Structure 1
Amino acid sequence: MNLNRTGRVGALCWLAAAPIFLVASLISGLRWREPTYSWATHNISDLGNAHCGVWDTTRPRYVCSPWHPLMNTAMLATAVLLAVGLLLTWRILGRGGVVRSAQTLLLLATGGYALAAVYPADVDENLHVLGAFLIMGMGNVGLLLAGFAPHSTTLGRWRPLTLTAGLIALAGTVLFFAQQGVGIGVGGMERLAVLPFPLWACALGVLLAEPPPLRDLALSAST
C-alpha cells in the first residue's frame, strides 16, 4: 500500500510494538531463579511485580522478578507504540461506525497496557486489574469488531486475519478468567488473550508498509 509519511510512521510503530514486548518478556523471564519462570504457569504480570513473595490467592505462587523495571518499561513502550500506530493510521484504515468503534476500543486497550505497566499488580492491584480489563475486555472486543469492517475499507481487506485474531483473543480471555489451561496452562491461556492485539498490529504494520506492486508503480509513473 502506498502510504504517506504519517501512515508509514504509524505502520512502523505497529511493527515494533510486539517484538519489544516479546523480547522483554523473554529476557525478564530468564532472570528468574528459584522458581524459574514458566510461560504456562506464571502470568505476564508476574514479570512486572516489584517485590518478591507469594502472590495470588487463586493460584498461589512465589513471584520474584529481578528485572521487573525492564518488563514494565517495555510494556509502557508497547502501549505508546500501539496508540501512536492507531492514531497515525486512523483515517487510512477506513470510515464508518464499525471501523471507528473498533479503533476506539483498541485505543482504550493501549491505555490498559500503560496502566498495567505503571501500576504493577503488587503495587496497585485495582488499577492493574483495570488495565487488564481494558486489554482483554475492551481491546479484544474491539479486535473482533475490526474483523467486521466493510470490505470496501482498508481494514476490511484483511478480514480473515483480524477475525482469527479476535476469536483467539476472546476465547483465551474466557478460558483465562475461568482458570482453564486446556493443555497450555493458565499462564499460556493469558498469552492467548493478551498477545493477539499486538501481533495483529505487527502483521498489519507489515501489510500496510508493503510497497505497491511494480505494475502499480509503472502506471503511476506513466500518468
Structure 2
Amino acid sequence: MTLSTTLSRPTTLPRPARIGALCLTAAAPLFLLANVVTALGWRNPPFSWATHNISDLGNVHCGVWDTTRPRYVCSPWHPLMNASFVLTALLLIVGFVLAWRLLCHGAAPRVAAWLFLLAAVGYALAGAYPADVNENLHFLAALLILVLGNIGLPLAAFAPAGTVLGEIRPLTLVAAVVALAGSVLFLTQQPLGIGVGAMERVAAFPFLIWASCVGVFLLVRSRTPRRVPVS
C-alpha cells in the first residue's frame, strides 16, 4: 500500500532564481506606485486616469500634447516616472534571466520569455526617451510593451503541466485575454466608455501584474513542502 507523507523541508530555489523571483515580484508594485505618486504632482489640470496616457506622466515639458487627441500635459515629477520605467525594465530583465531555467520549459514558453525581455527593453526605452523628447522611439517602446509583451502571455500558457508556468496557466490566460483585448482597443482608439488613458492601462498593466504574480508563486512554491509517496 502506498501512502503519502509530507517532507519536513520545502523545496528550495537556487539563490539566482530567488533573486530573480524577488525582482519580478517588485516590478508591478514599483511601477504602479510610481504612477500614483507622479500623478499626485499634477495641479492645473489634475491628472486624469481616464484621459491621460501613462506616457504623459513622463513628459518633460508642459503644454498641449498629441495632435490626434489634444490634452494639456504638465508632469512636475516626470523624473520619478521616467526613472521607474528604467528600473522596472531592469527588474524584469534580471528577473526573467535569473529565473529562466524554471520558466522556459517548452518551445512556446521560451519564445514568450524572449518577448518578455523585449517588452522590458520597451520600458527602458520609454523612460530614456519620453514621448515629447523622441516620439518615434517612445512609440517603438509602446509597441514592444503592448504588442510583443502581450503576445508572449498566451504563448506562456502553452507550458507543460507540472512546470511553474503550467501550474499558473489559468492566471496566464486571464492576463493574456485582458492584455490583448486592451491593446487592440487602445491602439485602435476604442475606449468603450472608460477613456483612452484607462484603456491603455487595461493593455499595459496585466503583463506587469502577471510577472509579479510569477515571482510570488516561485517564492511561495519554494516554501511549500512537497509530498512524496512512501510504501
Answer 1 or 2: higher relative contact order, Cα 8 Å, separation at least 6.
Answer: 2
Contact 2:105 2:160 in 1 (8 A): no
Give aligned pairs, total.
Answer: 218
1:30 and 2:56 correspond: no
1:142 and 2:152 correspond: yes
Partner of 2:210: 200
Choose between structure 1 and 2: higher strand proportion: 2
Partner of 2:8: none
Partner of 1:213: 224
Contact 1:94 1:153 in 2 (8 A): no
Partner of 1:174: 184
Task: Between 138-147 and 45-54, report the one with greater CA deviation.
Answer: 138-147
Gaps of 5+ in 2: 1-10
1:90 and 2:100 correspond: yes
Partner of 2:129: 119
Partner of 2:166: 156
Task: Between 43-52 and 139-148, report the one with greater CA deviation.
Answer: 139-148
Q: Which amino acid aligns with 2:172?
A: T
5 Å matches for 1:59-138?
A: 59-138=69-148
Shift in Å at residue 188 of structure 1? 0.6
- Separation of aligned partners in 2, 1:145 and 1:14: 19
- Separation of aligned partners in 1, 2:202 and 2:12: 32
- Separation of aligned partners in 2, 1:172 and 1:10: 28
- Cα RMSD for the two superposed structures: 1.5
With structure 2 as the length reference, what TM-score do the two structures score? 0.91
Q: Which runs of 4+ in 1 moved over 4 A?
A: none
Shift in Å at residue 138 of structure 1? 0.5
- Separation of aligned partners in 2, 1:163 and 1:150: 14
5 Å matches for 1:17-56?
A: 17-56=27-66
Q: Which amino acid aligns with 2:59?
A: N
Partner of 2:193: 183
Partner of 1:7: 17
Q: In percent, how many aligned pairs have the same letter?
A: 60
Shift in Å at residue 154 of structure 1? 2.0
- Separation of aligned partners in 1, 2:224 and 2:178: 32
Q: Compared with structure 1, are the counterparts of its residues 158 and 33 closer, same or farther at alpha carbon in structure 2 (3 Å cutoff)?
A: same
Contact 2:160 2:166 in 1 (8 A): yes
- Separation of aligned partners in 2, 1:202 and 1:115: 21
Q: Which amino acid aligns with 1:150?
A: P
Contact 2:164 2:218 in 1 (8 A): no
Q: Which amino acid aligns with 2:223?
A: P
Q: Structure 1, residues 112-147: CA drift from partner, whole Å, max 9, x if none? A: 000000000000000000000000011000112111
